[in-house]
Amino acid sequence: MSKYDIIVLGSGPGGYVTAIRASQLGFKTAIVEKENLGGVCLNWGCIPTKALLKSAQVFEYLKHADDYGLTVKEFDKDFGAVVKRSRGVADGMSKGIQFLMKKNKIDVIKGYGTLKAGKKIDVDGTEYSADHIIVATGARSRELPNLPQDGKKVIGYREAMTLPTQPKKMIVVGSGAIGVEFAYFYNSMGTDVTIVEYLPNVVPVEDEDVSKQLERSFKKIGINVMTSAEVTTIDTSGEGVKATVKTAKGEEVLEADIILSAVGIKTNIENIGLEDVGIAVDRDKILVNDFYQTNVPGYYAIGDVTPGQALAHVASAEGILCVEKIAGMHVEPIDYGNIPGCTYASPEIASVGLTEKQAKEKGYELKIGKFPFSASGKASAAGNKDGFVKVIFDAKYGEWLGCHMIGAGVTDMIAEAVLGRKLETTGHEVLKTIHPHPTMSEAVMEAVAAAYDEVIHI
């Protein structure tokens, strides 16, 4: 039996980062993976979707070339080539993880891993043991009872990335990050897209102002948005699919070639031996403490299988903290109130901290500032004036409670707010920090100025 210091089960952005950090700290490390290194994020999620969205963005630029004083007489899309490029990007990233495993002397054990008592993992009949076993098996597309996925007419995100032909009509059920990103992509490619969202607002976890802006932007480009709506039944017996949608006005039947179910994720915790080991689970999540230890000594869990936010960067941070704690380093628990969230549709969305509604519910007296990109010189020059930056401060102490952005490139801007909040900066400190002009990022300073009644440009 092969013996290791640490074995990581799963090689997504939680698992592979954990393994590398463990190796850096001197642990003899192995990683177990049943598919491709990099997990869902690199192969079927974060990375290939961004490649698809980049193609959509370039196609949009070509469509609007005349807005920039350019003449493009003939252009078209090749849907198959767009998908192929996306897969190529994913393959390249996965090969990069293979290189990192070799560089860091991490043993890659290919196969299906099952936890065993006594700090062991069985991988397709071969047992391995370790002093510490870290579960990082991630999650998959969640299926609703009334919306079963057949992989052809009712699909999840994996199939949405590799459809052999472009659908003429698509219904997207759910308007979280996955739903709105695919809605934007297929709409840009020329598909007639309808979003069906059960809650009153699209991207319901975001600040309400952001949700309303995205709905306006989507409707402007021809996406049909139905909120407070529920798909009650589907009929796949015909050539396409029919969905009965219940709204406040009654029932409506929508017809499409394909339904994309984007109603959240389901953790991959079945059939990995949790019951055999006695690891505690609650509501589809493995229970862990602040340092990702389960109730059974020697077994840990990170990423989507635990109660924190199901985001790639969260899984990576959790894995690093987990192995640093194992190594005896002094580590502080992650502040889950300061995790940035990003959605890569167009316009992009990025946020951190409390929404306005949440801040009011907590009893804060607020100073709120908004700066529209329509007043930004850089946004005007780039032709991307949709959206705004919204900041929320505690009026009493100046604490930066939340930051919410919607617009071009905002996913690259949110880190300023995350870092500022981490360093406990105040509104006045942000306001007196000189931001470069002309940039999209100066909208953060302008929004803070608006909160303190010092705004210049609106």
Residues labelled as active-site residues? 437
* Contact of 162 with 91, CB cutoff 8 Å: no
* Contact of 331 with 415, CB cutoff 8 Å: no
- How far is CA 27 from each of CA 75, 135, 196, rounded to the nearest angstrom? 54, 17, 48
- In 105-210, DSSP assigns E strands to 107-110, 113-116, 120-123, 126-135, 139-141, 154-155, 169-173, 192-196
- Classify residue 106 by its DSSP letter: P
**Which residues have CB under 8 Å from 58's CB, separation 6+?**
none
3-state secondary structure string, 306-352? CCCCCCHHHHHHHHHHHHHHHCCCCCCCCCHHHCCEEECCCCEEEEE
- How far is CA 243 from each of CA 199, 419, 440, rounded to the nearest angstrom? 18, 45, 41
C-alpha to C-alpha distance for 40 and 97, rounded to whole angstroms = 13
